[in-house]
Amino acid sequence: MSELATLRGVLFRARALNADDGPQLQSLLEACTDYHELVLGHPPGPAEAQSVYYAGPEAGRDPENKMLFGILKPDEVELVGVLDAFRDYPEPGTWYVGLLLLAPRARGGGLGREVVEVFAAEARTRGARELQLNVVTQNQAGLRFWKDVGFDEVRRWRQRLGSLESTFVRMRRQL
């Protein structure tokens, strides 16, 4: 994994996740069954956390320059979210968000927006020119969120993810 940037905001602190955090990450993913069923068509499996550690930015890609953060509220020790991101993907100067997932109890209070803004500022400080990500169209809340935090649609395509055939939307935000 890539050297990790430090991320901290008013509503959260983020720390690098390691193998010891697997059970906590698995619990978070299981708490987010709604996301998994919407995007993948099935609930998270028993080894879902392990797959997050080793997943590349997109299917078939090596997880080079991977940054994996656990998101916590400032005074808590349990994960309320995860940010999986990659430096210089798909090209130098672009940082790619593979996954930003918050537990249902942590959604809707501005935490996600603050994570994105702090991450964008860190990326810009380290020379990134833009952020990119993919979101599937059936994730309407996700599409609205990413548009609300300044991402624009670049292109669309159809692809199978999990048990679903989905329309993917590539989005980007200039920094």
Question: Which pLDDT band, with edges at 50, 70 and 90, does 19 fall under?
Answer: confident
Model confidence pLDDT, tens digit, residues 80-94: 999 999 999 999 999
Rounded to an integer, the average pLDDT of 56-77 is: 86
Whether residue 93 is contained in a domain is answered as yes
Domain ranges, residue 117: 7-129
Report the candidate in 83, 161, 152 with the shortest Cα–Cα distance to residue 169: 152
Tell me the CA end-to-end span of the chain in Å, nearest whole number.
Answer: 24
Question: Which pLDDT band, with edges at 50, 70 and 90, does 30 fall under?
Answer: very high
Whether residue 2 is contained in a domain is answered as no
Q: What is the mean pLDDT of the chain?
A: 92
Whether residue 55 is contained in a domain is answered as yes
Q: Extract the tokens encoding 6.
A: 């430090």
Residue keyed to tokens 């964008």: 120
Examine the pLDDT at 22 and tell me if it is beyond 80: yes
- CATH number for the domain harbouring residue 83: 3.40.630.30
pLDDT score, position 3: 61
pTM: 0.93
Domains in the chain: how many in total?
1
**What is the C-alpha to C-alpha distance for residues 159 and 97, in angstroms, rounded to an integer?**
18
**What is the C-alpha to C-alpha distance for residues 100 and 115, in angstroms, rounded to an integer?**
9
Examine the pLDDT at 5 and tell me if it is beyond 70: no
Q: Going by C-beta distance under 8 Å and a sequence separation of 6 or more, which residues neighbour residue 85?
A: 66, 67, 68, 69, 95, 96, 97, 98, 119
Whether residue 163 is contained in a domain is answered as no
Whether residue 150 is contained in a domain is answered as no
Residue keyed to tokens 């968000």: 97
Lowest-confidence pick of 41-45, 56-60, 144-148: 56-60
Whether residue 140 is contained in a domain is answered as no
Question: Which pLDDT band, with edges at 50, 70 and 90, does 25 fall under?
Answer: very high
Whether residue 147 is contained in a domain is answered as no
SS3 109: coil
Whether residue 113 is contained in a domain is answered as yes
Percent with pLDDT over 90 in the chain: 81
Q: Going by C-beta distance under 8 Å and a sequence separation of 6 or more, which residues neighbour residue 125?
A: none
User: Facing residues of 7 across strands?
Assistant: 14
